[in-house]
Amino acid sequence: MSSGALVLFSGGQDSTACLAWALERYGRVETVGFDYGQRHAVELIARQAVRGRLARAFPDWAVKLGPDHMLDIRAFGAIAETAMTSERTIEMTDRGLPSTFVPGRNLVFLTYAAALADRRGLDVLVGGMCETDFSGYPDCRRDTLDAMQSALRLGLARDLMIETPLMWLTKAETWGLAKALGGEALVAITVEETHTCYTGERGILQAWGYGCGSCPACQLRQRGFESWVSDGRLDVPA
């Protein structure tokens, strides 16, 4: 029996699905976010809005939802500066990676999260990494995470697990997972409160949520939502 889970939580669609997944599965769930000098405070605001609405809409989850932790990793942000953290444009690099790729980001996140989880007595890390139709970030691959899990287990002498419930889901299926976990109430929270857009745009509420509608994150989110709707808003059980 697990002692509980720490969810890497950005306030986006994917990590919100992960948070719901963990709340359904574990008796104690805490969240961690990283301030690495993001351009947009809107992401930090979205985190609290999502946590608050989840707790109000799902009393069974509210009793399991523990504290939120925000870790300052701006020193890493300064090293890893890319379009995520500065004003550079979003494009493909000659390595075949989007310019939003922050080298080593998930490895750093997981190392910090593992240290925090150890201090908090939690033995599961939950992250929204996904290989299926994401942009090919090498640190989102399950192989990378398996290696990271081994390194953390050895280095912390703790039976830490890295769970990635979205790893093999399409973006459409991630909407279906949210519906399976929390019904249309969780879909509505995901649409209205989560933030995915790279530009920090909130603007007008679209069927799939807020965002500029043209950055890669918005396009992925919109296409996933529309595909899920055209397939009949099916549940995708965890």
The C-alpha atoms of residue 50 and residue 195 are separated, in whole angstroms, by 10
Residue 144 CB, nearest approach to Zn ion (Å) = 26
- Beta 124-126 vs 5-8: how paired, if at all? parallel
Positions 184 through 213 that interact with Zn ion (CB under 5 A): 197, 199, 211-212
Q: What is the DSSP letter of 209?
A: B
Nearest to 190 by CA among 27, 21, 4: 21
* Binding-residue total with Zn ion (CB under 5 A): 6
Nearer to Zn ion, 66 or 216 (CB): 216
- Asked if 84 is part of the footprint of Zn ion (rule: CB under 5 A), the reply reads no
Name which of 199 and 227 has its Cβ closer to Zn ion. Answer: 199
Closest approach of Cβ 158 to Zn ion, in Å?
38
In the set 113, 124, 162, 215, which binds Zn ion (CB under 5 A)?
215
Q: How far is the CB of 196 from Zn ion (least distance, A)?
A: 7
Selected from 84, 148, 160, 218, the binder of Zn ion by CB under 5 A is: 218
Instruction: Sheet containing 29-35: give its strands across.
Output: 65-72, 29-35, 5-8, 124-126, 161-163
Q: Identify which of 37, 88, 90 has the alpha carbon closest to the alpha carbon of residue 215.
A: 90
Shortest CB 198 distance to Zn ion, Å: 5
Report, in Å, the least distance between residue 226 CB and Zn ion: 15
Burial class of residue 75, CB neighbours in 10 A (0-12, 13-18, 19+): exposed
Q: Where are the strands (E) in 56-214, listed by range? A: 65-72, 124-126, 161-163
Site for Zn ion in 35-54 (CB under 5 A): none
Q: Which residues bind Zn ion (CB under 5 A)?
A: 197, 199, 211-212, 215, 218
